Amino acid sequence: MKLYQKSLYDKVYGCWIGKSIGGTLGAPYESKREFPEVTDFESPSGQPLPNDDLDLQLVWLKALEEYGPLGVNERVLGEYWVSYIPPHWSEYGIAKSNMKAGLLPPLSGDYENSWKHSNGAWIRSEVWACCAPGFPEIAAKYAWYDACVDHGTGEGVYAELFTASLESAAFVESDPDTLIKIGLSYIPADCRVARSIGIVQECYKKGLGWREARRRVLEDSADLGWFQAPANVAFVVIGWLYGEGDFKKSLLIAVNCGDDTDCTGATLGSILGIIQGADALPEDWKMHVGDSIVTISIDRGSFRNIPQTLTELTNRILCMMPKVLEAHSVCVGVNDAEPDVSGLKTDMLYASSKHAKFLSDMSSALRFDFIHTRVEMGYVTGVNIQAGQEATLDIKLCNLLPDPRHVEITYYLPDGFELIQGRKHISLLHKAGPEEDNCTDNEYTFTVVLRAGDLLQASNRGVIQMVSAGRPTVMLIPILFFGA
């Protein structure tokens, strides 16, 4: 596949200027539950309004630049949250509080988080799409790393998988129905995000008005409340379908649905900006926001290399994009010749069976890559524990290299804790079959049962140490229980 440098720049810049336009249009009406009846901008012309939807993605770009495409994961993004993003709003604050207490992602997004179905993740998905244009599965992988930090395994995660994948596909596909189907293939068919989107699709197909579609979405989402991802993603789809390709009409409809209006306007602006390109967007609206970036939720004292303009952001994204694609063994050329996507079939944009398996296995288990072995640990009975209570952990080891090996396990438990059940030695085999057979001969799963003592601390920390004979990297798995 070959991408045309000029049109690629136009689409990436279109993504960011579209986001700036939509966020600025919708920001004054954020949290309005009635129809805002917006017809144009309320803000002064010449500069955008600040928007955390864009801010957080500048931090993710910094992580990509500093750690490289294969170095970024949920724990790296979690550390960047704590270092560079000051706001404590809703899921942002809960996730940071959980991480500061010692909970790693995705537990940081699941533990006592009443906002894990909210909007904080899908509004910041464009950076992943722009770094993997035409490869939605790559974008979705990064979207998971991102969303699970503050949404765990909630609907907020599914929302970002949806937006990141369809935005990536929008670089090579423009039909709204097809793009929505592609996005839906990356999330469970029975999740609430998919259900809300389905309501909109059905209303549009029946010829019902957009206000009726909004009413039905709100009725179905009443149990979740306001500022939640399923309804707000559906508002984006309402604007997209009922706007019928007209940029202004589409954004005005989305924003006039109310609720998280800066987010719905910004995300739809990004999608249409990718599809249509910056050159095709309305000149008066582009001039209204200009090229500058105004931040609101970044610690500027710590993060000093912030892109100052959308132009600079676009150029840095275009520098990172080939590195991301190359790291994932994708063969894409970017040059000044005409684009050639003749080898790209639409069905290649849909989620693969590998992604479907990831969805079915998705949990709040902690994942650690120790080069020779990948370890997953799940808190079966949760993180909270009472004196004398038993706690169960599930641990799975996966051999990543071709040699079988013995693993010796030592438990350094929190004070007063007792080991009731747990392997101390296992033989970890290598994969016996080809990759496509999904052979699991190289995996070993076991259960650990611990009992808390009578004198619990507020935080009870320990480590499970696993040593593979002949391997220099020692596997250290932190465990943490909160005294209930």
Average pLDDT over residues 338-363: 82
Looking at the predicted structure, is the pLDDT value of residue 222 above 50? Answer: yes
Domain 2-354 fold: ADP-ribosylglycohydrolase fold (1.10.4080)
The CATH architecture annotation of domain 365-483 reads Sandwich (2.60)
Contact 281/14 with Cβ under 8 angstroms? yes
| Sign of the torsion angle spanned by Cα atoms 113, 118, 124, 130 | positive
Average pLDDT over residues 379-388: 98
Average pLDDT over residues 137-161: 98
* The predicted structure's pLDDT at residue 446: 98
Domain-wise residue ranges, the chain: 2-354, 365-483
Average pLDDT along the chain:
94
Q: What percent of the chain has pLDDT over 90?
A: 90
CA distance linking residue 295 with residue 59, whole number of Å: 11
- SS3 (DSSP) at 230: helix
* The predicted structure's pLDDT at residue 331: 76
Distances (CA, A) of 465 to 210, 338, 382, 395: 57, 55, 21, 12
Q: What percent of the chain has pLDDT over 70?
A: 95
pLDDT tens digit sequence for 236-283: 999 999 999 999 999 999 999 999 999 999 999 999 999 999 999 999
First to last CA, the chain: 56
CA distance linking residue 210 with residue 349, whole number of Å: 29
Looking at the predicted structure, is the pLDDT value of residue 391 above 50? Answer: yes
Structure-block tokens of residue 63: 């992580």
Distances (CA, A) of 67 to 49, 121, 147: 30, 21, 18
Which residues, in sequence order, are bridge partners of residue 11? none
Distances (CA, A) of 315 to 1, 12, 288, 319, 334: 21, 9, 22, 6, 14
Distances (CA, A) of 464 to 34, 95, 326, 479: 53, 24, 36, 7
> Fold match between 2-354 and 365-483?
no
CA distance linking residue 155 with residue 166, whole number of Å: 17
* The predicted structure's pLDDT at residue 438: 52
Looking at the predicted structure, is the pLDDT value of residue 223 above 60? Answer: yes
* The predicted structure's pLDDT at residue 203: 98
CA distance linking residue 306 with residue 62, whole number of Å: 8
CA distance linking residue 196 with residue 208, whole number of Å: 15
Q: Please name the residue ranges forming H helices in 277-390.
A: 283-289, 310-327, 353-361
* The predicted structure's pLDDT at residue 437: 45
Lowest mean pLDDT among 162-176, 212-226, 331-345: 331-345
Closest by CA to 120, choosing from 294, 329, 262, 292, is 262
pLDDT tens digit sequence for 402-452: 999 999 999 999 999 999 999 999 999 987 665 544 557 899 999 999 999
pLDDT tens digit sequence for 180-209: 999 999 999 999 999 999 999 999 999 999
CA distance linking residue 444 with residue 46, whole number of Å: 59
Structure-block tokens of residue 200: 């909109």
Long-range contacts of 372-376 (CB under 8 A, 24+ apart): 372/399, 372/400, 372/401, 372/405, 372/468, 372/471, 372/473, 373/397, 373/398, 373/399, 373/400, 373/407, 373/428, 373/466, 373/468, 373/475, 374/398, 374/400, 375/466, 375/475, 375/477
Average pLDDT over residues 162-182: 98
pLDDT tens digit sequence for 74-121: 999 999 999 999 999 999 999 999 999 999 999 999 999 999 999 999
CA distance linking residue 209 with residue 211, whole number of Å: 5
* The predicted structure's pLDDT at residue 434: 56
